Chain A
Amino acid sequence: MLEISGLHAGYGAVSVLHGVDFTLHQGAFLGLLGANNAGKSTIINCLSGVVRPTSGHIRFEGRELTGLAPHKITDMGLIQVPEGRLIFPQMSVLDNLKLGGGTKRAIAKRSDEMERVFALFPRLSERHTQMAGTMSGGEQQMLAIGRGLMGQPKVLMLDEPSLGLSPLFSQIIFAALKKLHEDGLTILCVEQNLNLTLAYSTSGVVLERGVIAVEGSGPELRDHPITRRAYLGL
């Protein structure tokens, strides 16, 4: 569904990715893992069009994505839940969700989707009139995911959804992602938290200094020596 090949990218003179290749299959829940500075967020930002790759290809359902503007990519159904949540704090929960469903392909089914989001996160339904900025971090992460779902994604890309959350909330978030995956959503999740991600995802890719070090299923990766090296620098 989503093919990445020979992806190089960087910021100014600093190059971060040195030829990344992997494929995200329809219906997969892939964890994109790695330590700080490995280039995980850069990959996801290339996919969403915020960062322009210096070379390489990204193909989504056969269409080339490199060079497309972020809103076009969102319109195609490749939707990012950004790192640090980035909800609109001065707007109500409801308005945040509505904004997520404002794209051409999503707007017709906006109210159906809203009900599904409220079923997934009942907390959002309870707080729908509240200013988004006054909610807890975990609730804001729920909102960010809900906002992404409102755009009716074909692929949902999450950047560090457990960032700054308590272990309990991280579990709740990942359980919700697992449920979405079981309902047929394709998910790409960038995470530092190895054990948490591998417990819920179907497969993983470990990134080390801008290249793929190892890929495989959860249990394979957890005990793989390269994974340990990528994380612990051993």
Chain B
Amino acid sequence: MRPEFFGIIRSPFLWGVIVLFAVLGQWASPYHLGIATQTMLYIALALAWAIVGGFAGQLSIAHNVFVALGALLASALFLRLGINMWVGLVLCAALSALIGVFFAYLDSKFSLGHLSFALVTLAFGEVGMLIVAGWDFVGGASGLSLPRDQGRLLNFEFGGARGYFWAALALATVYLLINYAILHSRLGFYLRTLRDNEAAAQAVGVYPFRNKAIAMAISAAMTSVAGTLYARFSNFVDPSFLASPTLSIEIILIATIGGLTTPLGPAVAAIVLVPFSELLRGWLGGQLPGLSHIIYGFLIVAVILASPRGLVPLLVKIFRQRGGKDVATISMQKGA
């Protein structure tokens, strides 16, 4: 682990923002808490994805499979077999990690390029959706409803909107720290060499399969855990949302728009985009359904045109021009 990592985790700015969010949760209304929880879960999902998509540069479009596993299978195990959701969470995360390693194996076995890897994972994402829709054990196409939350933590119940918000905030914080830890560890360096040039990475003795498999396993397990929390948070586990490849695209969009060179990228983008899209839908959904999606789409195009490397690098540039230096600047210098 490099010293930069400890600089970042000791940053008062970062912890200040996290504590501010936690305290704000105390007063927010359930409606706003719901949006905030969703935002935190998207941060977690985007950060988990960024480990393969950002550090290793592998565009995985199959991450909806891991969300679906964590959400649907853990819920089904609980509803059908009475398996505690904490246990289900661990089981599904382990299973997701195995599937992740399998993707890395395919990548290495058939030496898939970036584009072929994306297409293969897209196919698996679609297949995952079809399996879920045809498999009654996980609720088929109609989904599953979890029993009412009674606030028993041992049963994976966090008791109401505020509890879920704090749980999701904690999850997003842990994921942010994991991302920084990986970025500044040997694994992070090896992944970036593989992303930049696999031949050169091999010339310095990096084993592509092992490093990609570890990254994929971590990313898949983290995605699955976020999926389980999402399921418990939303009570009704909807396969057309949680198992659909569209969710993968949403995650990729958030991570990419924020910028993949720093873990702050996915976090900032989710904080901007998820509430914006929700509120927009709330304001405009009544009069002109669909208009909110159009505005959202235009906003995304505008951000990509304004800063192809992402929102956070753009913010850092503006910040630097004004002579500032903060956690984002420090992380950018090392993360680029």
**Residues of chain A whose beta carbon lies under 8 Å from any beta carbon of chain B:** 48-50, 69-71, 74-75, 79-82, 86-91, 95, 98-100, 102-103, 147-148, 151
Write the chain B residue with the least CB distance to A85.
B200
| B203 adjacent to A79 (CB under 8 Å) | yes
Shortest CB–CB separation between residue A20 and chain B, in angstroms? 21
Contact of B207 among A69, A88, A90 (CB under 8 A): A69
Shortest CB–CB separation between residue B172 and chain A, in angstroms? 27
Measured CA separation A102–B185 after assembly (Å)? 12
| A71 adjacent to B202 (CB under 8 Å) | yes
Shortest CB–CB separation between residue B196 and chain A, in angstroms? 5
**Residue-by-residue, is B203-224 near A (CB-CB < 8 Å gives 1, otherwise 0)?**
1111100000000000000000
Instruction: Check if B256 is an interface residue, CB within 8 A of chain A.
Output: no
Give the chain A neighbours of B86 by CB distance below 8 A: none
Prevailing SS type, chain B contact patch: helix
Say yes or no: A103-B205 contact (C-beta < 8 A), given A88-B192, A91-B192. yes
Give the chain B neighbours of A103 by CB distance below 8 A: 204-205
Contact of B205 among A81, A86, A88, A151 (CB under 8 A): A151
| A74 adjacent to B200 (CB under 8 Å) | no
Residues 158-217 (chain B) with a chain A CB within 8 angstroms: 186, 189-190, 192-193, 196-197, 199-200, 202-207
Measured CA separation A90–B206 after assembly (Å)? 17
Measured CA separation A74–B25 after assembly (Å)? 53
| B202 adjacent to A88 (CB under 8 Å) | no
| A74 adjacent to B205 (CB under 8 Å) | yes
Shortest CB–CB separation between residue A158 and chain B, in angstroms? 11
| A86 adjacent to B336 (CB under 8 Å) | no
Give the chain A neighbours of B200 by CB distance below 8 A: 82, 86-88
Give the chain A neighbours of B202 by CB distance below 8 A: 48-50, 70-71, 74
Shortest CB–CB separation between residue A6 and chain B, in angstroms? 25
Contact of A86 among B186, B199, B206 (CB under 8 A): B199
Closest 7 CB pairs of A and B: A86-B200, A74-B205, A70-B202, A71-B207, A103-B205, A100-B204, A80-B203
Contact of B203 among A89, A91, A98, A148 (CB under 8 A): A148
9 A-B interface contacts by CB (under 8 A): A50-B202, A70-B203, A74-B202, A79-B203, A90-B192, A91-B192, A102-B189, A102-B190, A103-B204
Give the chain B neighbours of A49 by CB distance below 8 A: 202
Write the chain B residue with the least CB distance to A159.
B203
Say yes or no: A99-B199 contact (C-beta < 8 A), given A88-B192, A88-B193, A91-B192. no
| B205 adjacent to A102 (CB under 8 Å) | yes
| A99 adjacent to B193 (CB under 8 Å) | yes
Contact of B206 among A71, A81, A89 (CB under 8 A): A71
Write the chain B residue with the least CB distance to A95.
B189
Contact of A102 among B192, B196, B199, B204 (CB under 8 A): B204
Contact of A151 among B189, B196, B204, B207 (CB under 8 A): B204
Residues 271-325 (chain B) with a chain A CB within 8 angstroms: none
| A88 adjacent to B199 (CB under 8 Å) | no
Say yes or no: A90-B203 contact (C-beta < 8 A), given A95-B189, A99-B189, A99-B193. no
Give the chain A neighbours of B207 by CB distance below 8 A: 69, 71
Give the chain B neighbours of A151 by CB distance below 8 A: 204-205
Shortest CB–CB separation between residue A62 and chain B, in angstroms? 21
Give the chain B neighbours of A100 by CB distance below 8 A: 204
Write the chain A residue with the least CB distance to B207.
A71
Give the chain B neighbours of A90 by CB distance below 8 A: 192, 196, 336
Write the chain A residue with the least CB distance to B202.
A70
Give the chain B neighbours of A91 by CB distance below 8 A: 189, 192
Write the chain A residue with the least CB distance to B200.
A86
Write the chain A residue with the least CB distance to B261.
A90
Measured CA separation A79–B204 after assembly (Å)? 8
Shortest CB–CB separation between residue B107 and chain A, in angstroms? 15
| B205 adjacent to A89 (CB under 8 Å) | no
Say yes or no: A75-B205 contact (C-beta < 8 A), given A88-B193, A95-B189, A102-B186. yes
| B189 adjacent to A82 (CB under 8 Å) | no
Write the chain A residue with the least CB distance to B108.
A69
Shortest CB–CB separation between residue A161 and chain B, in angstroms? 13
Give the chain B neighbours of A48 by CB distance below 8 A: 202-203
Measured CA separation A91–B197 after assembly (Å)? 12
Measured CA separation A95–B193 after assembly (Å)? 11
Measured CA separation A103–B202 after assembly (Å)? 11
Measured CA separation A226–B204 after assembly (Å)? 36
Measured CA separation A48–B336 after assembly (Å)? 29
Measured CA separation A82–B202 after assembly (Å)? 10
Give the chain A neighbours of B189 by CB distance below 8 A: 91, 95, 98-99, 102
Say yes or no: A71-B205 contact (C-beta < 8 A), given A88-B193, A91-B192, A95-B189. yes
Interface-centre pick from A50, A74, A81, A88 (highest chain B CB count, 10 A): A88
